[in-house]
Amino acid sequence: MDRPDKILHAVKRPRGGVNAKHLKITREKPVVRITAPEKVVIPMSQHIGAPCVPTVKVGDHVDIGQLIGDSDKFVSAPVHASVSGKVTAIGDVKNCAGQTVQAVTIENDGLGTVWAGIEPPKVDTKEDLIKAVRASGLVGMGGAGFPTSVKLSYKPEQNVDTLIVNAAECEPYIAVDYRECVDNSWDVLSGVYDLVDILHLDRVIIATEDDKSDALGILKNIADKDNNSDKNVVRLMALKAKYPQGAEKLMIQSATGRQVPAGKLPADVGCVVMNVASVAFLARYLKTGKPLVSRNATVSGDDIKEPNNVRFPIGTSVRDLVNFCGGFEEEPGKLIVGGPMMGFSIYDEDIPMLKNNNAVLAFKKSSKLIKKETACIHCGRCADACPMSLIPTDLEKLAKKGDAKGLSENGIMTCMECGSCAYSCPAGQPLVQYMKLGKSIVKKAGAK
């Protein structure tokens, strides 16, 4: 291995993908903290896995960082109060994906009292770390929301030697990971070193797209000067700016040349992939012990008056975030939580923003929000764009037929719903919708 004086390039470039416009208009705006909203709605399920059970009752007083929901299941992550105040309701709400989830509503008393029980965790071993990460409520902040403690609970025989810090942020508009690298570069690197020390990793690769290589430059300068750099494990990698470079499996392939087998996890090829915001949070948590109660999101789109990057308490509504950014230019035609490629379009501004939501986008009615659907012309652009080497048009036809066997034989479960196929389709076919349908057909058939 050579010294980190030069920035690495992908070992093996992924296939397919699309050249979507970047539109990162908030890129040069440092993150601003939102005025804490009057109330927050905190769902008990903000992650992949078992939902939490509320540990508070209506009428209880809670402080920032106090546990309000927990679960004894392995795949889960606890939730904490993000403002101080009184629990006014516990009931069902809709999340951005349209699912009904239980949520705790807290009325903000405006005092911002931090819970007295917060103290930095003692972490010496990997077991300590997993316990601490679990207690912090950390989930993958890049979008998927997979509990980080589960991610780190890999087995020794999996020989995990590589940490990949994902700062690709390949979705258009979103710029919070870039801001994390630029504004909190010290947190990112100290998080990296904490993980290297505790997990005994051989190398760390921080990867971003090459249009954000100034962020890499800043990280590199610190990495070069840092005392820890005698360990010489941190590498910086610039990927071609092409969606979906940040997809976990593609990132592992770009960084190491390893290919995660279908249905397996990154640890099976010796890798742990963490979002850059998760790593920076971890560093702060290990110092202060303050759990995951706030995060950053880009509020942008052509219908937002003052697009910005905002730090908000978990459970803040989309409405509060939009109002903080000057409100809408006009009545929006489409509201999206997440990026334009994989985000959820919502119809209700009261939907709460969660641990894994990195953007709110609003678009005018005049924007091209829907592409008219015409017949498939079998041009193959979807297959060319698919980074997973699938043939989406075939899968669409199988999904329409409800052919579970054909769908799984043609690899539908490999689809990560990145949207490259539907983006490239000249006929405007809603391919991702059919991929989702296809997956549910296969799951149902398997459950029988």
The rounded distance, in Å, linking the Cα atoms of 18 and 419 is 9
**Of residues 349-368, which lie at the interface with other proteins (CB under 8 A)?**
361, 363, 365, 368
The rounded distance, in Å, linking the Cα atoms of 217 and 180 is 14
Give the Cα separation of 326 and 318 in Å (integer): 13
Using the minimum distance from each CB to other proteins, give the nearer residue, 321 or 336.
Answer: 336
The H-assigned helical ranges of 143-184 are 148-152, 176-183
In the list 340, 403, 407, 442, the residue contacting other proteins (rule: CB under 8 A) is 340
Q: How many other CB atoms sit within 10 Å of the CB of residue 289?
A: 18
Scan for tokens 């690197």, then name that residue.
Answer: 189
Q: To the nearest whole angstrom, how small is the minimum distance from the Cβ of residue 305 to other proteins?
A: 18
CB-CB contact of 296 with 313 (8 Å): no
Question: Does the protein bind other proteins through residue 111 (CB under 8 A)?
Answer: no
303-340 in b/e burial notation, b at 16+ Cβ within 10 A?
A: bbeebbbbebbbbbbbbbbbbbbeebeeebbbbbbbbb
The alpha helices in 258-412, defined as continuous H runs, are 276-288, 318-324, 381-385, 392-401, 404-409
Supply the Cα-derived Rg of the chain in whole angstroms: 21
Judged by CB under 8 A, the residue of 62, 83, 139, 422 near other proteins is: 422
Site for other proteins in 174-233 (CB under 8 A): 205
Q: How far is the CB of 384 from other proteins (least distance, A)?
A: 8
Q: Is 97 in the site for other proteins (CB under 8 A)?
A: no
Query: Nearest CA to 334 among 317, 320, 318, 323?
Result: 318
Quick one: 144 or 376, whose CB is closer to other proteins?
A: 376
Dihedral, CA of residue 414, residue 335, residue 313 and residue 176, to nearest 10: 60
Site stretch for other proteins (CB under 8 A), options 13-21, 112-120, 127-135, 191-199: 13-21
Is residue 142 close enough to count as binding other proteins by CB under 8 A?
Answer: no
Tell me which of 110, 380, 402, 446 binds other proteins, using CB under 8 A. 380
Candidates 67-75, 120-128, 379-387, 440-448: pick the segment binding other proteins (CB under 8 A): 379-387
Task: Provide, rounded to whole angstroms, the least separation between the CB of residue 430 and other proteins.
Answer: 6
Q: Does 343 bind other proteins (CB under 8 A)?
A: yes
Residue 11 in contact with other proteins, rule: CB under 8 A: yes
Alpha helices, DSSP H only, in 208-269? 213-225, 248-256
Min separation Cβ 161 and other proteins, Å: 9
- List Cβ neighbours of 75 (8 Å cut-off, separation of 6 or more): 48, 49, 50, 147, 150
Using the rule CB under 8 A, is 433 a contact of other proteins? yes
| Sign for the pseudo-dihedral over CA of 13, 14, 16, 17 | negative
Q: Report the residue from 424, 439, 441, 442 that binds other proteins according to the rule CB under 8 A.
A: 424
Kindly state the number of chain residues that form the binding site for other proteins, as judged by CB under 8 A. Answer: 75
Least distance to other proteins from the beta carbon of 208, Å? 17
As measured in angstroms, the least distance from the Cβ of 227 to other proteins is 25
Structure tokens at 324: 């903080």
Binders of other proteins among residues 260 to 289 (CB under 8 A) are 260-264, 269
332 binding other proteins? (CB under 8 A): yes
The answer to whether 322 contacts other proteins (rule: CB under 8 A) is no
Among 425, 438, 439, 442, binds other proteins (CB under 8 A): 425
CB of 380 to other proteins, least distance (A): 4
Residue with tokens 């077991």: 127
* 304 binding other proteins? (CB under 8 A): no
